[in-house]
Amino acid sequence: MRNAVLLIIMSSVFVWAQTSPLSPEQRATFHGRQSEAVEPFRIVGNIYYVGARNIASYLITTPEGHIMIDTGTKEMHDVIRTNVEKLGFKLQDIKILLSGHAHFDHVQGHAAMKRLTGAKVMAIGEDARALEAGADLSPLGDEGWEPVKVDRVLKDGDTVMLGGTTLRAVLTPGHTPGCTTWTTGVEEKRRPYSVVFQACGGPNAGVKLIGNSKFPRLVENTLRTFQVQETLKPDIYLPMHPETYFAGKVERIKAGETPHPLFDPDAYTKLISETEANFQKRVQEERAKAIRIQ
């Protein structure tokens, strides 16, 4: 039996290593440099950064407990634990675990964090299924994670509420089938800000877009996602790989600079426009290649 289990595990590793467009070097970067510890800080209102160098984990605090978005890679578990405690919060007060999308670099710590805190895991449809399966069911098809029970399966437009804070789940598939753009509102110095947690763009580079047998509507769904995202228009957006975005701004945020260093009502629209343009270019290149082959 032990040999049979080992064979299954080895076969699974072989499959994603052969089918994923990520190279071993890229994967090592996620588990290495991108997962390195950085100092936590309050971003805006009741939203805090507790993640790593270039893989985000966001803590949203309330008087009735806290919400965490993303738990990162398995290497980030101790990073996040330390960061939450450094900020003066108790891990046991984390009541809800959310995710932007079910890829290993964002949900590999879910099971361990759920055990530690007793928090309820919530996710949309297909990504909820991926979390419970412990497998990447997206077009990327990369490494998995320890399976974790999903306590509440969400639908597009559902809200998650705790202690006066409300987050709305916007289904924006493409990057993963259940990729979720989270929206909320906060207040800073008596000024309200609309905030988007941006986790969903197009499928990873190297993923087949046209005629993908596992995801035949991949192009259609991704284009619809861009249309939905273009309507959001937040004051501030928070990415899941924030190193470049935060560069030069963290100290200004900590200093309480006004207006808020991340405030830019046009930035998210510009990001989505650029992401869509890049996606359209990939689609055109695939079509041109198909014509040449014919």
pLDDT in tens, 125-159: 999 999 999 999 999 999 999 999 999 999 999 99
Report the pLDDT value the prediction gives residue 17, as an integer from 0 to 100.
43
pLDDT at position 289, please? 81
- Predicted confidence at residue 292, as pLDDT, reads 66
Record the pTM.
Answer: 0.93
Q: Which residue has the higher pLDDT, 273 or 13?
A: 273
- Round to whole Å and give the CA distance between 104 and 138: 11
CA angle 151, 153, 158 (to 5 degrees): 120
pLDDT (average), residues 45-61 = 98
Question: How confident is the prediction for the chain on average, in pLDDT?
Answer: 93
Question: Among all chains, which residue has been given the structure tokens 């207006």?
Answer: 259
**Antiparallel, parallel or unpaired: β 191-198 and 236-239:** parallel
Among residues 138, 141, 236, 224, the alpha carbon closest in space to that of 182 is found at 236
At 189-220, the pLDDT tens digits run: 999 999 999 999 999 999 999 999 999 999 99
Q: Is the pLDDT of residue 291 over 90?
A: no
Q: Which of 273, 50, 49, 62 lies closest to 167 in space, CA to CA?
A: 62
Which residues partner with 192 through β-bridges? Answer: 187
Tens of pLDDT, residues 17-28: 447 899 999 999
Q: Which domains does the chain have, with CATH numbers?
A: 38-293 (3.60.15.10)
Mean pLDDT of 60-69: 98
pLDDT tier for residue 293 given thresholds of 50, 70 and 90: low
Separation of alpha carbons 198 and 260, rounded Å: 18
Report the C-alpha gap between 204 and 228 in whole angstroms. 19
**Residue that wins the pLDDT comparison between 250 and 292:** 250
Strand-pair category, 41-44 with 236-239: unpaired
Bridge partners of residue 183, in order along the sequence: 168, 196
Nearest in space to 180 (alpha carbons), one of 253, 109, 240, 252: 240
- In the chain, the percentage of residues whose pLDDT exceeds 70 is 92
What would the mean pLDDT of 17-42 be, rounded to a whole number? 91
241: which DSSP letter? S
154-181: pLDDT as tens digits: 999 999 999 999 999 999 999 999 999 9
> Are the beta carbons of 77 and 84 closer than 8 angstroms?
no
Q: Which of 1-10, 91-100, 266-275 is the least confident region?
A: 1-10
What SS3 class is residue 169?
strand
Q: What is the pLDDT of residue 294?
A: 59
